[in-house]
Amino acid sequence: MKILVTPRSVTKNGHPSLEALRQAGYEVVFSTPGCFPTENELLELLPGCVGYLAGIEEISAKVLDAATDLKVVGRNGTGVDSIDLDAAERNGIKICRAQGANARGVAELTFAHILSATRSVAFSDGELKKGNWTRRKGIELEGRTLGLVGCGKIGQLVAGFAIGFGMKVIAYDPYPASGFSPDGDFSFCSLEELFTNANVISLHCPPEPGGKPIIDETAISCMKKGVFIINTARGSLLDDDAVLEALESGQIAGVTIDAFESEPPSDWRLAEDPRVTATPHIGGFTEESVARAMTVAVENILAVLQER
């Protein structure tokens, strides 16, 4: 009757939504407060647990094979690319997502990143704090083209924000939502058309199979000179070497990042580059998004465990 809880903000500060688990008769156990659980820690904590409220940590086949009592993993977010889904299926473990719970938080951060990149907000603040009166000329968004790679709930919210700023929005999605047709200049297009025509490219998609980057040397070569790249999705979507080279040449004017392949990053080159604005995976880290995601994750776990 134990349920393991591992999201970093929750293990550090707790959350009211967990009370529903306790009231249902379950013992709530936590991983190390404020830290990603390691594989060894999961191997120690998960055996004997029937439920697992997970963050974005990797959940390997070894971990799932060892969790012989586990019936359900409830993510407090949408992505499940860090979970070995084949092992979960083999062991009869149901995987539940908090679909769309943090979409608003990620979408709002995305647009904050767009504004920061195109007006060099973070760079300018950093220079002033060092006592330097250094200015970079920015661009205005009205009349510019925003390209969305992925147009689910987050991308759709970002599209609405951009249209409100007078931008043209083009989007690529392998499964475009037929009912999404916002007022304003919006259309779906191919990925090649998006790379060729966008002034700002924002990523809202899962990783490619095998972890192949979407933004690589070939993709960058198709883009307009001076393009801005916004990545609030997954670190593996960027080829770091190709992006750094394009920043150096001016092909890419600026990059913003909120997600890294490993967190904290093992490779700090992009985060430390003055043409890059980086944040430590805070897209869904708002009071509202955390509350929605935790509530949905708890409800998902209880729904599975209380099935009759």
Burial (CB < 10 A; 0-12, 13-18, 19+), residue 5, is buried
User: Rounded CA gap, 201 and 158, in Å?
Assistant: 11
Catalytic annotation present for 281: yes
Domain made up of 103-278: CATH architecture: 3-Layer(aba) Sandwich (3.40)
Of 8, 144, 281, 292, the catalytic one is: 281
Catalytic residue among 263, 269, 272, 275: 263
Q: Report the predicted TM-score, pTM, of the whole model to 2 decimal places.
A: 0.89
234 classed as catalytic: yes
Work out the pLDDT band at 33, boundaries 50, 70, 90.
very high
So what's the pLDDT on residue 263? 86
Per domain, the residue ranges of the chain are: 2-99+286-305, 103-278
Q: Evaluate whether 2-99+286-305 and 103-278 have a shared fold.
A: yes
Over residues 26-36, the mean pLDDT reads: 95
Say which residue the tokens 């991983």 belong to: 31
pLDDT band at 93 (very low <50, low <70, confident <90, very high): very high
Q: Which CATH superfamily does the domain covering 2-99+286-305 fall into?
A: NAD(P)-binding Rossmann-like Domain (3.40.50.720)
Residue-wise pLDDT for 266-298, tens only, equals: 999 999 999 999 999 999 999 999 999 999 999
Q: CA-to-CA distance for 72 and 96, rounded, in angstroms?
A: 7
The model's pLDDT over 97-128, given as tens digits with 9 standing for 90+, comes to 998 899 999 999 999 999 999 999 999 999 99
The per-residue pLDDT for range 231-255, each reduced to its tens digit, is: 999 999 999 999 999 999 999 999 9
Q: Which of 8, 97, 113, 234 is catalytic?
A: 234
Sorting pLDDT into bands at 50, 70 and 90, what band is 211?
A: confident
Whether residue 48 has pLDDT greater than 90: yes
Other CB atoms within 10 A of residue 182 CB: 13
